[in-house]
Amino acid sequence: MKNLIHILQFEWKLLWRSNMLKLLLVVMLGAGVYGIFFGKFEIEKQNIRIAEVKEYEQGRFDSLLTWANLDTSILANKEKYLKAVSPEGVGWRLHFSHCIVNEASPTAGLCLGQRDLFPTYYRINLTDLARQMNTAELANPMKLLTGNFDLSYVFIFLLPLLIISLFFNLYSDEKEKGTLSLLQAQAISLNTILLDKGFLRLLTVWAISAFLLVLGFLIQGVSIANNADIFFQWLLVIFAYTLLWTLFMAGIVALKKGTAVSAMLGLGVWLITTLIMPALLNLFVSANEPLPNRAEIIHAVRAANNRNWDSPKSFVLEKFYEDNPQYSQEDTTHFYKWYYASFALLDKEANTIRNDFNTQINKRNKLIKKWEWMAPAAMVYEHLSKISKTNRESHLHFMEATHDFHDRLKAIYYSKIFAEEKFNQQDLRVIQAMQRY
Amino acid sequence: MLLLIIKKEILAALRNVRLQIAGIFLIALMLVAVLLGRQGQQLIHKEREKAQSAMYDIWVNQGMKHPHSAAHFGQFAFKPKPVLSFLDVGLDNYTGTSVFLEAHKQNEILFSAAQDSNAMIRFGEMTMALVLQILLPLLIIFLTFNIFSKEREEGTLKLIYAQGLSMRQLFMAKVWATYVMVLAIFIPVICIAYFLLDYQSVSMDPNIGLKFIGLTITYALYFLVFVLLSVLISAFAKKSSISLLSLLGLWIVACIILPKATANLADKAYPTPSQFEFRNTIREKVKNGIDGHNPRDERLNALKQKVLDQYEVSSVEELPVNWSGIAMQAGEEYTDKIYDREFTRVENIFKKQNRLSEWVGFINPYLAIRHLSMAFAGTDFDHHTAFARAAENYRRAFVKKMNKDMELNHTPGIAYGDYNVGKEMWSSIKPFAYQLPDLTSILSKQWRSVAALVTWLLGLFFIASIFSNSISKI
Amino acid sequence: MLRTINLTKKYGTHTALNNLNLSVQAGEIFCLLGANGAGKTTTINLFMNFIQATSGQVFINDLEVAQQAQATKKHLAYIPENLNLYGNLTGLENLQFFAGLGGEKPKKEVASQLLKSVGLQSEAINKRVKQYSKGMRQKVGIAIAKAKQADNLLLDEPTSGLDPQASNDFAQLLREMRENKVAILMATHDLFRAKETGTHIGIMKEGDLVHTLKSDEIKLNELEQLYLETMKTESHATANN
């Protein structure tokens, strides 16, 4: 222990006095701070867009509530009032849309993940959901391809480079500068000395990554105290990742090769684990496992729609009552009942195909998951985006929530439409409360 | 004498086990990338071709219908996978793959591969382009970082100098020796790639041969830039370790850090509008007119008056043509005009963003080759918008045809459900066939990147010719 | 005390050291003379456990090096031919660092006193070692050896490349250490230094220790004569074999 402290003390002096470390720290800090601000900027942009939509939707709903409150003894108000409280009117002539938002998690700005590929909100009405969910945020594909320079990128790509440059000449530098023989002449074994030196470097890496993480939370205005679990999960993942890299480098140092060879070996491991392996896995999967043709959902919906319109009303309504006996009063002629029931059939059709597609895609992604261990960088990225709820799964959850939201909306609307009742104030408030904004 | 030096350099490199391993590794990686890449390209191409013709069959066999119902029933356009995309996948994983074409509405091109993949996709797909743009420069670095400093440290540089060779000659000899080795790795693999070209799909891709040659030449130029740069740095670095570290540092900045930072900064410099804003503007302008003073009702009334005057009648019922057909087509065209304006506005913002990184090509040759390579492979942003326009034009044409038929043949007074047309009408619409832009159009859009590469090359030759004689011998 | 018994080191068929029996007692300076490749550095390296013997034994204070390599280091100080220290640490810090490895880190005053005692100028003590001359570095090396208070010292060509003044200073320091009952083994090319500083002199050729003599029993010119003749017979003997 005394020896450890002694070595750490002097090794720190040596490290600090070499300009290499200072340069690396400046680069790391610079990249880290840039990444933090970039992530903050990106997530703020998303939030502004969400706020815009929310404000618009809230305004619309508020005017709906105002209409529902109008004094109907005045003739001019009658039409507006009816529009606001008629479930078929709200749904049809206006195709009144309801908004559901996927809010950014507190640390989304530290790891933007896959969030930029997906819509952050859906505006849906009572009609079939499949076609309404086919939207995308405007994005320059060039930017999507290049990816985001956020803090997670700094940790995943640049931190290993810092570790490589701190470790690669741990042994060879002593040898090439001639201090090795004097170290070997001491009463502590060389391995202990090298281990201690490595330990100090690992501590340095941990310190700078923890510092950047704290800085990230502070700059992005995320309270560490309130999000302690997220903070420690981040810390744990990054410490584990850096430890893994330290082990890689320890293996390279143990080979006792020269400076240039060690540097090349380190860079080689970096290339293979962060660039070549993920790219090869992606190539392999895309060459062997085709993605489903999602246009088929749209086609199925339009074909079913065609069939609904070409058939007598009873065709749709009978099927609908079979699935939803709670609404059945055996009425097979009512236009609005037919109109809205037909969308339920479209949803049913679309959901069957959607489930098939999901199975196919899950199979494809499982193949990647199976080989993911070969690309630890991708694993860490997946973990960080999972913690920050910016991965694809988080979006799938949001899509499920949207389906659920749509179902609940339908339940409220249908219960009124099939009972041929109007909305009251209470109903509208329930609907408003259901919207996630 | 020069040949002698070139021969010696090549022999020395060939006998270096580490370089042997690195070279073989790169060749193997490229072969895997080319073979698997072609397999994937074929797979996707065939799937989309199949889907495209299946959807067209459905269109043709949709049965008897009112033409406007058919326009609502709609068609699909699938983005064909460019023949050369197996060499550079470019934006293909991030752009949509198909679009639903229907009346009244410009739908988005949807379903990118990235949306259906997990986080791994963000690490890129292995293609020949990735090897050539990122990994081959690393090999160049390992070939050259001590090409001068080693001879200096071993004293052989003095010996060579004493034999009467100028430093400039020696410099060029080392450059060409390295370049020959790089080409020896590059050319066989690119030849294999040439024989793998899918000639069946060439019809959709004009000038494919020229594009392939263009791609090959730009890569050859890029390698020369990198060789010159690394030999220069190696020549003026005091020690092998310094030249290795500075070259690796440059590589990391140029190939890893700068591209990301550039794309991110471009988005900040030219902010992307939101989908919400984009769609709302279009809706608002369709409702109130492009200038905001020409609402839909007034436009419709004016058109009605014009048509009534034209046929010299006083009411819609008296018209020999179908007024709804005319009104629908007019509405279509007005929306198209507004959509074009807004779409072009967004497209221009994206182009400005991309242009920024094209200009940065003058600082970072990696960005220049990246843009050029994607453009030749048919996987860049311009190709995506070309497809978007082709699909949109196709939509307009068939919707117009439906409206026209309604205008001329749907006699007024006959109920909507009673006027139906059939297969003859549907098959008069030709299947969607999209041709990629030709070579001239690509080059006219990519002149910045071409200029950047040429500037780099000339600049480096110029610097080399001025300074190479002052390379230190000791 | 430094001792070897029947020590042999072979590299394949080449014998670098052949059956060496050597003993250096406390208060003795044993100088090994010989041409390049005679086995001087091999001997030192075997004492340091940098390499392993083919056969035979090496002892430091009755501890066998091959068995207890790490333990022997406590009793051992070493100055290589090219003594390199950490360029970015000062002389004082280098001394503190090396002396503190496995031992007690000397206090600042003690350390700087020690550096002065080996003749390092006081203004140099707090300068970074990358500005030191070779002689200055060798002095820090001696200081490290002294700080360790080891009773054995191994030196590999310590004076090569030193100017005569520095070389003389160095010899003086060795004599002081001898008086403190340190056993010193030094490989050198320098006949004059060996005669002046050493208490015993060994002449090696092709892995064999050919002559062992006490330095006060021979004059410098006789030593030179003997050395040259040994070298000659050596080549003669090789030719005959």
**What's the per-residue H, E or C state across C100-135?**
HCCCCCCCHHHHHHHHHHCCCCCCCCCCEHHHCCHH
List chains adjacent to chain A, taking adjacency as at least 3 C-beta pairs closer than 8 Å.
B, C
Look up residue A34 and give its two tokens: 């840039």
Distance CA A184, CA A190 (A): 6
How far, in Å, CA of A178 to CA of A173, rounded?
8
* Maximum pairwise Cα distance, chain B: 104
Distance separating alpha carbons of residues A218 and A390, to the nearest angstrom: 20
Quick check: B229 pLDDT over 60? yes
Looking at residue B32, its pLDDT comes to 93
Indicate the residue of C70, C71, C93 with minimum beta-carbon distance to A10.
C93
CB contact under 8 Å between C48 and A10, yes or no, is no
Gap between the Cα atoms of A159 and A239, Å rounded: 11
The continuous run of DSSP H or E covering A177 comes out as helix A172-177
pLDDT band at C38 (very low <50, low <70, confident <90, very high): confident
C80 and A178 within 8 Å at the Cβ level: the answer is yes
SS3 C203: strand
B123: exposed, middle or buried (Cβ count in 10 Å: 0-12, 13-18, 19+) = buried
pLDDT band at B218 (very low <50, low <70, confident <90, very high): very high
The average pLDDT across B27-53 equals 90
Q: Which two tokens stand for residue A227?
A: 């999000």
- Share the mean pLDDT of chain C: 84
B161 to each of B152, B165, C12, C187, how far by Cα in Å? 11, 5, 40, 40
Q: What three-state secondary structure class fits B355?
A: helix
The residue type of A215 is L
- The first and second tokens of residue B177, run together, are 């020796």
User: Do residue C105 and residue A6 have CB atoms under 8 angstroms apart?
Assistant: yes
pLDDT over 50 at C206, yes or no: yes
pLDDT at position A121 over 80:
yes
Distance CA A156, CA A211 (A): 16
Q: Which residue of A has its CA nearest to B116?
A: A361
Of the partner residues A45, A141, A259, the one whose CB lies closest to the CB of residue B381: A141
Q: What's the CA gap between A387 and B290, in Å, rounded?
A: 46
Inter-residue contact B289 to B299 (CB < 8 Å):
yes
User: What is the per-residue pLDDT for C237?
Assistant: 42
Cα B390 to chain centroid distance, Å, stands at 16
| Strands of C106-225, DSSP E | 152-156, 183-187, 200-205, 208-214
- All residues of chain B having their beta carbon less than 8 Å from the beta carbon of residue A135 are 108, 275
What pLDDT band is residue A176 in, cutting at 50, 70 and 90?
confident
pLDDT band at C236; cut points 50, 70, 90: very low
- Say yes or no: B305 contacts chain A, CB-CB below 8 A: no
pLDDT of residue B231: 92
Confidence of residue B117 (pLDDT cuts 50, 70, 90): confident
Neighboring chain B residues of A377 at a CB cutoff of 8 Å: 123
If pLDDT is split at 50, 70 and 90, which confidence band does B217 have? very high
Tens-place pLDDT, residues A404-419: 999 888 888 888 888 8
Give the gap in angstroms from C-alpha A179 to the nearest C-alpha of chain C: 5
Q: Contact at 8 Å (CB) between C15 and C207?
A: yes
pLDDT at A295 (0 to 100): 84
Q: What mean pLDDT do residues C130-134 have?
A: 86
* Cα-based torsion angle of the residue sequence A358, A360, A365, A366 in order, rounded to the nearest 10 degrees: 110
C-alpha A403/C-alpha A130 separation (Å) is 9
Rank A49-63, B191-205, B319-333, C155-169 by mean pLDDT and report only the highest: A49-63
**A355-362 long-range CB contacts below 8 Å, 24 or more apart?**
A356/A292, A357/A292, A357/A294, A357/A297, A360/A291, A360/A292, A361/A291, A361/A292, A361/B116
Going by pLDDT thresholds of 50, 70 and 90, the confidence category of residue C235 is: very low
Do B58 and B416 meet the contact criterion of CB atoms below 8 Å apart?
A: no
Residue of A nearest to B384 (CA): A141
Pairing of the two strands C183-187 and C152-156: parallel
- Residue B228 · residue B455 · CB < 8 Å: no
| % of chain A at pLDDT higher than 70 | 98
* Inter-CA distances, A149 with A103, A416, B116, B135, Å: 21, 50, 22, 21
Strand C152-156 relative to strand C76-79, pairing: parallel
pLDDT above 90: percentage of residues in chain C = 5
pLDDT of residue B474 exceeding 80, the answer is no
Which positions 164-183 of A are in contact with C (Cβ < 8 Å)? 177-179, 181-183
| Residues C187, C44 contacting (CB under 8 angstroms) | yes
Average pLDDT, chain A: 86
User: Closest by alpha carbon to A87, among A66, A110, A114, A68?
Assistant: A68
Check pLDDT > 90 for residue A244.
yes
Whether residue C93 has pLDDT greater than 50: yes
Domain range for A211: 1-437
pLDDT of C80 reads: 83
Q: With 80 as the cut, is the pLDDT of residue B473 above it? A: no
Element at C55 (helix H, strand E): strand C55-60
What's the pLDDT at B324?
78
pLDDT at B455 over 90: yes
Provide the pLDDT for residue B267.
85
Pairing of strands C208-214, C63-64: unpaired
Cα-based angle B242, B246, B251 (whole degrees, multiple of 5): 150
Buried b / exposed e along C104-132 (16+ C-beta atoms within 10 A): ebbeeeebbebbeebbbeeebbeebbeeb
| The Cα angle at residue A246 between residues A241 and A251, in degrees rounded to 5 | 130
Query: Is C27 in contact with C179 (CB distance < 8 Å)?
Result: yes
- DSSP conformational letter for B131: I
Element (H, E) at C34: strand C29-34
Instruction: Judge whether residue B169 has pLDDT over 80.
Output: yes
Helix H, strand E, coil C: the string for B242-257 is HHHHHHHHHHHHHHHH
Average pLDDT (A419-430) is 82
Q: Place B311 in a pLDDT band, splitting at 50, 70 and 90.
A: confident
Percent of chain B with pLDDT over 70: 99
As a whole number, mean pLDDT of residues C188-193 equals: 85
Cα–Cα separations (whole angstroms), residue A196 to A2, A12, A395, C48, C99 = 12, 11, 45, 22, 17
Amino acid A437: pLDDT: 52
Q: Which residue of A13, A17, A186 is in closest CB contact with C102?
A: A186
B213 pLDDT band, cuts 50/70/90, is very high
Q: What is the pLDDT of residues B238-255, one digit of tens each?
A: 888 888 888 998 999 999
Q: Tell me if there are at least 3 CB pairs under 8 Å linking chains B and A.
A: yes
Span B433-443, pLDDT tens digits = 888 888 888 89
Give the SS3 label for residue A102. Answer: coil
The domain total for chain A is 1
pLDDT of A332 strictly over 90: no
Say whether pTM exceeds 0.90. Answer: no
Residue C186, SS3 per DSSP: strand
Q: CB–CB of A145 and B96 under 8 A?
A: no
**Do the beta carbons of residue B80 and residue B203 sit within 8 Å?**
no
B105: DSSP letter: B
The pLDDT assigned to B140 comes to: 93
Question: Which pLDDT does position C238 carry in this prediction?
Answer: 43
Contacts of A94 (CB under 8 A, 6+ apart): A83
pLDDT of residue A250: 93
Mark yes or no for CB contact A182/C74 under 8 Å.
no
Touching C (3+ Cβ pairs <8 A), the chains are A
pLDDT above 90 covers a percentage of chain A that reads: 29
Identify which of B375, B378, B400, B388 has the alpha carbon closest to the alpha carbon of residue B344.
B388
Taking 90 as the threshold, does the pLDDT of residue C122 lie above it?
no
- Residue of A118, A119, A293 lying closest to B47 (CB–CB): A293
Backbone φ/ψ region at C62: left (φ over 0), alpha (ψ -120 to 50), beta: left
Residue A154 has pLDDT above 90, yes or no: yes
When pLDDT is cut at 50, 70 and 90, the band that residue B456 belongs to is very high
Angle at B44 between CA B41 and CA B47, to 5 degrees: 145
Residues 78-107 (B) with a CB less than 8 A from some CB of A: 78, 90-91, 93-96, 98, 100, 107
pLDDT confidence tier of residue B419, bands split at 50, 70 and 90: confident
In this predicted structure, the answer to whether residue A424 has a pLDDT above a threshold of 70 is yes
Tokens of B183: 């080409």
The answer for C 44-83 residues in CB contact with A (under 8 A) is: 48-50, 70-71, 73-74, 76-78, 80, 82-83
Please answer whether residues C204 and C194 qualify as being in contact, where contact means their C-beta atoms are separated by less than 8 angstroms.
Answer: no
Q: Give the confidence band of A93 by pLDDT, cuts at 50, 70, 90.
A: low
> Rg of chain C over CA atoms, in angstroms?
18
Residue the block writes with tokens 């409280």: A85
Q: What is residue B161's predicted lDDT score, i.e. its pLDDT?
A: 79
**Closest-CA residue of chain A to B44:** A290
- Residue B309 has a pLDDT of 83
Pick from A103-117, B148-162, B396-410, C3-17: least confident: B148-162
**Nearest by Cα to A275 from B152, B29, C118:** B29
Q: Domain C2-240: which CATH class?
A: alpha beta
State the complex-level ipTM. 0.88
The separation between CA A243 and the C-alpha centre of its own chain, rounded to angstroms, equals: 25
Strand C29-34 to A121-124 pairing: unpaired
SS3 C57: strand
CB B398 within 8 A of CB B429: yes
pLDDT tens across B119-152, in order?
888 888 899 999 999 999 999 998 898 888 888 8
Number of other CB atoms surrounding residue B204 within 10 Å:
17
Establish, for the pair of chains A and B, how many residue pairs have beta carbons separated by less than 8 Å: 221
Residue B34 has pLDDT above 60, yes or no: yes
The token pair at B152 is 């200096």
